[in-house]
Amino acid sequence: MKKLRLGLMSGLLAIAFFVSGMSPLALAVEYSETLPSAPGYNYENDGDYLGYLPNDYYAKQGKLTDKEKAGLQTWYFWTGGNDKFFRDLSTGKILSDSKGYAGTFDFLKLVDARPPNDPVAQADKTFTPLQREDRFKTIGVINDPGCKAATETDEYGLWLDNCNQDPHSTGIMGARKFKNPNFDPLKWNVEEYYKEGAQVEPPYRIGLSCGICHISFNPLDPPQDPEHPSWQNLSGAIGNQYIREGGLFGRNLPKDDFIKELVELQPPGTSDTSRNATDHIDNPNAINSIFNLGDRPTFTEVMNDGSEKEVYHILKDGADSVGLGEAAERVYVNIGVCSDEWLKHHEIIAGIDPQTPFSREKALQPGTCDHDFYIKTASRMDNAAEFLKTIKPYHLADAPNGQAYLTKDEAVLSKGKKLFAHNCAQCHSSKQPPRDLSVEDYQAWYEESVLAADFLDHNFLSTDERYSITEIGTNASRALGTNASGGHIWNDYSSKTFKELPSPNALELENPLKTDQTLKFRPKTSGYYRVPSLISVWSSAPLLLNNSVGKFTGDPSVAGRMEAFNDAIEKLLWPEKRDHVIKRTRQDTQLDLKSIGLGAGKVTVPQGTPAKLVANLDPNNVPLAFIAVPLLQQPLVSRLVAAGVNILPKGWVAPLLLKQNTAPDFVEDRGHVFGTDLPDEDKQALIEFIKTF
Ligand code: HEC
Ligand code: HEC
């Protein structure tokens, strides 16, 4: 029987992947004249992948060693050749089943800031040029302080930012431009490029570094104008809380496309890192900040070869548990490094064929990855880790006017500390009692620990332990991800210990179709969340793993952050104030079956449909009735089946979809009820203490 081509859904946005068609050596020669010269820092041979940062910016990071500086360069600028992958993605070359989306992910058009009414851009009906001064508010990316808006076209007719000091900058931090080896000046015509979508090879390909999602504004030095930041306003690993993945990857999808709606429903500051390779689960989550890495607890876990190793629990579910460097290498593959090899192990976007593990051992063998980019990337990870370890907390007391938000009342603060000791420290402190202490003495130990003047020093403010989703009670979608489980794509990057964790008991979840009813779901995967660090949590609301608790202000000033924090922490501690968020489509949208390789036709997904009803489908388990929907929508048939047009969500198909749902947890902002039964006054005292983290 012919396999059904659906999948897609959670498959869409491509956050991931690649191989290069160009030799770094050749590039080094080609670009040598224009290479940025960073005073006082000796670039490595593959300097072509480096970028410009002024000396006083380096200085602001503290007295960095050369290794830490090299690590900083990697974190901000290294793309490992993933520009080829992103180009292939935008041409549809590697989307054999998803041709309808060719041209969708064209980053060059995203950075080509053509004037608003430019006739060339108008040739592409789905495309609206994005101006430099609108980037932050529209898609939440951070402008490169070293660049200026274009005032005229370049030699190719493109309106690219003027980045004199850094020829590889696109003007957006983390988005890097490289010469396209397939570019033919004789065939180039900017009008054709816009008209024909992906048919004409452009002069540049765009690659992404980790910085695109991780660099954002420094809470202690916020920009006057977020569209025009200075270097000093940038922080390397705070996590971009403002980025809109839908705007970044789905900007030129048609407005009524269901996929467009899905990605726009995603909260700012989140990324669905298992969209591709897909686990068929809509589970975007917050890009967390990275602080005090050197104080992060480690665990002895059993590796896949049976050996034991001290590892961190990386990611929300603690899945990346074979070492920090290896975890970071995995992310590079997930954003397009070594994608020729990667794509042999999963089916891009649709994810119909079963995954097989991407082999780290093989990737490390010369010749496996184009230009050995995996090896080159891996060789940078020690330095990158050194850099990440230099990042220290941002305290509200040190922020402009920060003192105004902190209590001066020592009694309140001390009360808050004690409450934290009794209700939170067992999970949210890396300072834990000795193992041989008797249980009765725990509370006294925690109280003494939290009241000590140096409690926050070298404290990761988390045990980093994994807890079952049934214990934490927050939205289970991310914990149900399958990519790190045995035999799946990231098999090699999760420990044996992780893979052998017992699955949680059946979950009792709200039925989104009949909200007064519940449904039972029995997870087959691990189902855990690691305790997140609370360091500088005042600066990173909304809260919880999916950024679902608290309002989004989009304002990086101290006042903007505190407005977001106050709203979020109130909702966290007073659950009755939460919004009961279920992502429902805001308008009628069309799911184009052709674009996802399912043959002809479109399914109408009416306004108000819980998006995960459609997004969380495994193509191998799509109810046949769903595929029949387009047939039912033919005029004649629909006249016969009067109720056939709006099949979703009220019709007879919806319950079938719900039954096949890979992660039917629809309420985003539920759970984590620790401390919620305390008296109001206690909660206020607790909040005062949390602000000092
Ligand atoms: C498209 C956005 C995006 C890009 C690009 C990105 N990240 Fe992340 N990063 C995330 C998200 C989302 C999380 C939280 C994911 C989770 O925990 O499941 C995260 C978390 C992390 C963490 C912290 C995990 C923890 O346990 O504290 C590390 C380390 C990390 N990323 C490394 C990298 C590296 C290395 C790169 C570049 C190769 C990179 N990231 C690129 C989105 C991104
Ligand atoms: C049993 C362990 C445990 C206890 C006890 C606990 N937490 Fe948590 N906490 C977690 C876990 C796990 C998460 C992540 C849940 C998620 O995002 O889905 C979390 C998340 C949070 C967050 C959100 C962090 C962010 O960046 O979004 C805050 C704030 C928080 N906890 C505060 C507290 C406070 C305050 C207390 C005490 C009243 C407390 N927690 C008690 C385990 C715990």
Lowest mean pLDDT among 285-299, 544-558, 630-644: 630-644
Question: And the tokens for 574?
Answer: 């007073």
Ligand 2: which atom is nearest the Cα of residue 678? Answer: 38
Greater pLDDT, 627 or 503:
503
Query: Is the pLDDT score of 332 beyond 80?
Result: yes
Question: And the tokens for 77?
Answer: 């600028």
Rounded mean pLDDT, 42-55: 67
Lowest mean pLDDT among 135-144, 446-455, 619-628: 619-628
Rg of the chain over Cα atoms, rounded to whole angstroms, equals 25
Question: And the tokens for 498?
Answer: 């992780």
Rounded mean pLDDT, 129-142: 97
CB atoms within 10 A of CB 683: 20
Cα of 614 from ligand 1 centre, angstroms: 26
Smallest Cα–Cα separation from 73: which of 106, 96, 40? 40
Residue among 424, 470, 507 to mutate when testing ligand 2 (max atoms within 8 A of CB): 424
Contacts 24+ apart (CB under 8 A), 93-96: 94/339, 94/343, 94/348, 95/348, 95/349, 96/597
Cα of 470 from ligand 2 centre, angstroms: 14
Per-residue pLDDT tens for 671-689?
999 999 999 999 999 999 9
pLDDT confidence tier of residue 564, bands split at 50, 70 and 90: very high
Torsion angle, CA of 31/36/42/48, rounded to 10 degrees? -30
Report the pocket of ligand 2 as residue ranges, CB < 6 Å. 423-424, 426-428, 467, 472, 474, 529, 531-532, 534, 537, 540, 543-545, 572, 672, 674-675, 686, 690
Smallest Cα–Cα separation from 154: which of 183, 112, 211, 184? 112
Share of the chain above pLDDT 70, in %: 86
Q: What is the pLDDT of residue 6?
A: 32
Smallest Cα–Cα separation from 381: which of 331, 325, 313? 325
Per-residue pLDDT tens for 361-377?
999 999 999 889 999 99
Question: And the tokens for 626?
Answer: 């769903």
Which residue's C-alpha comes closest to atom 13 of ligand 1? Answer: 287
Contacts 24+ apart (CB under 8 A), 524-527: 525/479, 525/480, 525/481, 525/482, 525/485, 526/317, 526/319, 526/479, 526/485, 526/498, 526/499, 526/501, 527/468, 527/469, 527/470, 527/476, 527/479, 527/480, 527/501, 527/503
Largest CA distance in the chain: 80
Q: What is the pLDDT of residue 444?
A: 96
Per-residue pLDDT tens for 390-421?
999 999 999 999 999 999 999 999 999 999 99
The number of angstroms, rounded, from the C-alpha of 277 to the middle of its chain's C-alpha atoms is 14
Cα of 325 from ligand 2 centre, angstroms: 26
Residue 668's alpha-carbon distances to 200, 245, 580, 632, 674, in angstroms, are 42, 18, 7, 33, 17
Query: Is the pLDDT score of 579 beyond 70?
Result: yes
Ligand showing the shortest atom-to-Cα distance for residue 380? 1
Which residue's C-alpha comes closest to atom 15 of ligand 2? Answer: 544
Rounded mean pLDDT, 107-113: 94
What residue has token string 């005042």? 538
Q: What is the pLDDT of residue 643?
A: 36
Q: How far apart are the first and last CA of the chain?
A: 58
Query: Is the pLDDT score of 34 beyond 50?
Result: no
Report d(CA 219, CA 241) in Å as an integer. 12
Report d(CA 342, CA 356) in Å as an integer. 10
Q: What is the pLDDT of residue 186?
A: 94
CB atoms within 10 A of CB 12: 31
Residue among 15, 83, 213, 430 to mutate when testing ligand 1 (max atoms within 8 A of CB): 213
Q: What is the pLDDT of residue 487?
A: 96
Q: What is the pLDDT of residue 600?
A: 65
CB atoms within 10 A of CB 361: 9
Instruction: Count Cα neighbours of 428 within 13 Å in the Cβ-side half-sphere.
Output: 20
Ligand showing the shortest atom-to-Cα distance for residue 374? 1
Query: Is the pLDDT score of 472 beyond 90?
Result: yes
Query: Is the pLDDT score of 3 beyond 50?
Result: no
What residues have CB less than 8 Å from 192, skipping those under 6 apart? Answer: 199, 200
For residue 447, the one-letter residue type is E
Q: Which region holds residue 635: left if phi is over 0, alpha if psi is between -120 and 50, else beta?
A: alpha
Choose the most confident range, by mean pLDDT, from 177-181, 403-407, 432-436, 523-527: 403-407
Residue among 49, 78, 210, 298 to mutate when testing ligand 1 (max atoms within 8 A of CB): 210
Per-residue pLDDT tens for 200-250?
899 999 999 999 999 999 999 999 999 999 999 999 999 999 999 999 888
Choose the most confident range, by mean pLDDT, from 121-125, 336-340, 637-641: 336-340
Query: Is the pLDDT score of 345 beyond 80?
Result: yes
Q: Identify whether the C-beta of residue 667 lies closer than 8 Å to the C-beta of residue 518.
A: no
What residue has token string 């819980």? 610
pLDDT confidence tier of residue 80, bands split at 50, 70 and 90: very high
Q: Identify whether the C-beta of residue 284 lies closer than 8 Å to the C-beta of residue 581.
A: no
Query: Is the pLDDT score of 567 beyond 80?
Result: yes
Which residue's C-alpha comes closest to atom 16 of ligand 1? Answer: 315
Cα of 486 from ligand 2 centre, angstroms: 28
Ligand showing the shortest atom-to-Cα distance for residue 216? 1
pLDDT confidence tier of residue 303, bands split at 50, 70 and 90: very high
Contacts 24+ apart (CB under 8 A), 217-224: 217/142, 217/556, 218/394, 219/394, 219/399, 219/536, 219/538, 219/539, 219/556, 219/558, 219/561, 220/394, 220/395, 220/398, 220/399, 220/400, 221/400, 222/400, 222/556, 222/557, 222/558, 223/556
Which residue's C-alpha comes closest to atom 24 of ligand 1? Answer: 315
Query: Is the pLDDT score of 618 beyond 90?
Result: no
What residue has token string 């089946």? 641
Report d(CA 383, CA 60) in Å as an integer. 18
What residue has token string 């505190």? 562
What residues have CB less than 8 Å from 566, skipping those under 6 apart? Answer: none
Share of the chain above pLDDT 90, in %: 69
Report d(CA 382, CA 414) in Å as an integer. 41
Ligand 2: which atom is nearest the Cα of residue 686? Answer: 35
For residue 669, the one-letter residue type is D
Q: What is the pLDDT of residue 651?
A: 64
Sign for the CA dihedral angle at 408, 412, 413, 414 comes to positive
Cα of 331 from ligand 1 centre, angstroms: 7
Smallest Cα–Cα separation from 2: which of 624, 632, 625? 624
What residue has token string 């990386």? 314
Report d(CA 407, CA 673) in Å as an integer. 25
Ligand 2: which atom is nearest the Cα of residue 568? Answer: 29
Q: What is the pLDDT of residue 596?
A: 60
Report d(CA 73, CA 117) in Å as an integer. 37
Smallest Cα–Cα separation from 287: which of 176, 211, 390? 211
What residue has token string 């001290």? 310
Q: What is the pLDDT of residue 621?
A: 76
Greater pLDDT, 93 or 153:
153
Q: What is the pLDDT of residue 662?
A: 94
Smallest Cα–Cα separation from 102: which of 691, 621, 594, 666? 594
Report d(CA 166, CA 231) in Å as an integer. 14
Report d(CA 15, CA 331) in Å as an integer. 10
Which residue's C-alpha comes closest to atom 6 of ligand 2? Answer: 424
Burial of 542 (0-12, 13-18, 19+ CB in 10 A): buried
Greater pLDDT, 4 or 365:
365
Query: Is the pLDDT score of 13 beyond 70?
Result: no
Q: What is the pLDDT of residue 35?
A: 38
Choose the most confident range, by mean pLDDT, from 47-56, 433-442, 680-689: 680-689
pLDDT confidence tier of residue 290, bands split at 50, 70 and 90: very high
Q: Identify whether the C-beta of residue 416 lies closer than 8 Å to the C-beta of residue 450.
A: no
Q: What is the pLDDT of residue 4?
A: 33
Per-residue pLDDT tens for 252-285?
788 899 989 999 999 999 999 998 899 999 999 9
Greater pLDDT, 310 or 623:
310
Report d(CA 297, CA 295) in Å as an integer. 6
Ligand 1: which atom is nearest the Cα of residue 272? Answer: 12
